[in-house]
Amino acid sequence: MIKLSHLAALTLLAAATATPAILAPAPALASPEGHGNNAQLLGQPAARGTGRVVRIEMTENAYSVPRIQVRAGETIRFVAVNRGQFVHEFSFAPAAVAAAHRPEMARMFEHGMITPERVVSLTMTMPDGTRMDLAPPNTVLVEPGKTGEISWRFTRAGTIEIACNIPGHYESGMAAELVVTPR
């Protein structure tokens, strides 16, 4: 019963903050590099399983750390562990790119690609014929009790956002800061 109450609250929150753009088809937000381009993401994908490990635990609408700091030139292996009861996302991008991604995530939820407890499919053809695909290298969706990983080589200094863009999660505070310092 708690799951239903939590789900109902998330659904109401998502509906209350929804804009008409959620219902309209949107252009693909992901470039071949990911949500945003490699320059915006301060680096590029690295070979899977490589880099210094940075572990992040995810619970209901919270990351275990408010800020992650790495150094330009470093390869990081983000290990995202979902300790919650619902699917969570670990995604890093500039705030504007993450905000543009949230309506896409809402559509994925609406069309059954993602449920509160599991990832059903990461690809889908929309009614207007556009294909939605959520497998960018800077994003991982993690089911309850599971772990997801992203390996990334940071090449530039800057600050971007870490966000869970599942409807209602970011709005409930599930965000952190990713700071890349100069070499």
Task: Please write the tens of the pLDDT for every residue from 100-118.
Answer: 989 988 988 988 889 999 9
Residues 122 and 86: their CA atoms lie apart, in Å, by: 17
Q: Which domains does the chain have, with CATH numbers?
A: 2-181 (2.60.40.420)
Return phi, psi of residue 21, to 5°: -60, -25
Average pLDDT, the chain: 82
Residues 176 and 183: their CA atoms lie apart, in Å, by: 22
Residue 74 or residue 31, greater confidence: 74
Residue 77 or residue 38, greater confidence: 77
Residues 85 and 90: their CA atoms lie apart, in Å, by: 15
Task: Look at residues 148, 183, 164, 62 and name the one whose alpha carbon lies nearest to residue 109.
Answer: 164
Residue 121 CA from chain centroid, whole number:
15
Task: Render pLDDT for 152-183 as a digit per residue (tens, 0 to 9).
Answer: 999 999 999 999 999 999 999 999 999 999 99
Residue 17 or residue 136, greater confidence: 136
pLDDT of amino acid 39: 82
Whether the CB-CB separation of 92 and 160 falls below 8 Å is answered with yes
Non-local CB neighbours of 151 within 8 Å, separated by 6+ positions: 45, 46, 47, 48, 49, 50, 51, 75, 76, 77, 78
pLDDT of amino acid 71: 98
Torsion of CA 105, 49, 52, 118, to 10 degrees: 30
DSSP string, 34-102: EEB-TTTTTEEE--TT-SEEEEEEEETTEES-SEEEEETT-EEEEEEEE-SSS-EEEEEE-HHHHHHHH
